[in-house]
Structure 1
Amino acid sequence: MEPAVLRDDMVASLEHETKGFVRSEPVSLALRTVPRHEFVPIDADQGAYSDQSFDHRGTRILAPSTVARLLEALDVDEDDSVLIVGAGVGYTAAVLAEMVGDRNVHAVDITRRIVYEARQNLDAAGYGGVFVDCRDGADGLPEYAPFDRILVEAAAIDPPRALVEQLVPEGRLVIPLGGGNQRLVAVERSATGAAETAERFGSVAFTPLLVDGEQSDSLERNRTAREDREFAERHAQTRRGWEHEWIDWDGYG
């Protein structure tokens, strides 16, 4: 079956009144346009357009319904400047690029080989204008701030202060908050710069935001527990510098 037909079927299912994950026309159109099979490392007929998530090289490829929930919560306007924390395979960035233009989408990830793959996938799918860089997501991307919208595809106890500060006044940050019981929350920056919860969108289950120095496939990946003494001691014992060779990024500007 043609990928375009599979995409239409996927979105129609997500729009169905019993699910209601897709509620707005911009999200619907973008999901119908982006070739998901360019980002999911399986054949289209074998599940690239099924509503399921996949583990891939230490990261999680989100199910289409989860992507739809995140984008509906983010509520972007045309030409908004957007930052995604957690580049993954680049699929969410591509869908946002359809909505706001690829030059307005920025993504960061703490794991270099994931950044490399996201760049490759976005280029192959026609979204080469999306900026993807290797960063600690909690620090954001200050040189490109402020952003109208920030989407965090990892969980934290509280919204990282740096991300809130990189929002425009009344800008929106969407992030899973909590430890064992996570809730998807939209936080807006007030005129005074404070973070104020604007909306809640139900329960979710995301991996924790990584600590600087960790890789997505390391044993320890829980930012929410980084102040725990036992965690710190175990982390010090198991990590001895970088476990992977650094990639020369000069050719990937």
Structure 2
Amino acid sequence: MDPAVLREDMVDGLESPAKGVLTDEAVAIAMRDVPRHEFLEDDRSAYADREHEVLETRVLSPSTVARLFEALALEDGDDVLIVGAGVGYTAAVAAEIVGEHGVHAVDISRPLVFEARANLERAGYEGVLVDRRDGASGLPEYAPFDRILLEAAAVDPPRPLLEQLADDGRLVLPRGTQPQRLAAVDADGSSDEFGVLSLDPLLLEGEQSGAVERNRTNREDLEYARQRAESRTGWEQEWIEWEDRIR
């Protein structure tokens, strides 16, 4: 069957009252235009509303993608960072809305970075930048971003990502442990929730497939140590020069 027809059927299903996950017209148009089959092997199953697994990562179902973009509320001309590029499909949807040169994507998995780059180029979105990074650190060279989409769960948004938001920016992520809730966090600290949505936890350096060490605890210890070092409590808030006092 013609992929364009399959895309129409896919989006019609997402907009239907039975699912009701897609109301944003810009997102609907983008999902009708992006050739999802270029990002997955099976043309027909690419448009089924289900997840796939590629290179040990979960490719989100169309309904999950729609929910993420509804919360993200992209506008034409936004600068966007996608943390967790995966196979590149969500980056392509974002590129249809804001323009491909406004989309930046990172992934901690080197094989996935190569996969996403190849898929995006084949699908006609070669202007999207995809880099291999620890997603929790973001992409500071290209900050600030109007929108950041974190395609992985975290108890709280990583601080570097919040620091890379524009003044009126928004970060969207599944927040919490279980159950996770889809949250949109604005640069001013305010947030909204959009129901339950569970994704895999954000991988940190050393946890990706093929890494020598897969240990989240080491990274958490480093983060806590940095927080303690940067906190100012007790006597260290003000140094007293006792010799000056004696004089």
Q: TM-score if structure 1 supplies the norm length?
A: 0.83
Determine which of 208, 217, 230 is the counterpart of 1:215.
208
> What's the % identity of the aligned pairs?
61
Q: In 2, Cα distance between the equivalents of 1:40 and 1:222?
A: 30
Bigger Cα Rg: 2
Q: How far is 1:181 from its partner?
A: 1.3
1:1-253 residue pairs with structure 2 within 5 A?
1-42=1-42, 44-45=43-44, 47-190=45-188, 195-197=189-191, 199-216=192-209, 223=216, 227=220
Q: 1:171–1:21: structure 2 CA closer, same or farther, 3 Å change rule?
A: same
Q: Which whole-Å deviations, capped at 9, do the CAs of 1:88-135 have from their partners, x for residues lacking one?
A: 000000011000000000000001010000000000000000000000
Q: 1:40–1:222: structure 2 CA closer, same or farther, 3 Å change rule?
A: farther
Q: Which whole-Å deviations, capped at 9, do the CAs of 1:50-104 have from their partners, x for residues lacking one?
A: 0000111111110000000000100011010000000000000001100000000
Q: In 1, Cα distance between the equivalents of 2:71 and 2:194?
A: 7
Q: 1:83–1:120: structure 2 CA closer, same or farther, 3 Å change rule?
A: same
Q: In 2, Cα distance between the equivalents of 1:154 and 1:39?
A: 19
8 Å CA contact 1:87–1:107 kept in 2: the answer is yes
Q: How far is 1:205 from its partner?
A: 1.4
Q: 1:140–1:227: structure 2 CA closer, same or farther, 3 Å change rule?
A: closer
1:23 is paired with a residue whose SS is coil
8 Å CA contact 1:210–1:221 kept in 2: the answer is no
CA RMSD of aligned residues (A): 1.8
Q: How far is 1:170 from its partner?
A: 1.9
1:184 is paired with a residue whose SS is strand
Structure 1: segments with no counterpart, 5+ residues: 229-253
8 Å CA contact 2:104–2:130 kept in 1: the answer is yes
Q: How far is 1:225 from its partner?
A: 9.6
Number of residues paired by the alignment? Answer: 221
Question: 1 or 2, which has the higher helix percentage?
Answer: 2
8 Å CA contact 2:206–2:214 kept in 1: the answer is no
Q: In 1, Cα distance between the equivalents of 2:70 and 2:212?
A: 33
Q: How far is 1:217 from its partner?
A: 6.3
Q: In 1, Cα distance between the equivalents of 2:75 and 2:143?
A: 17
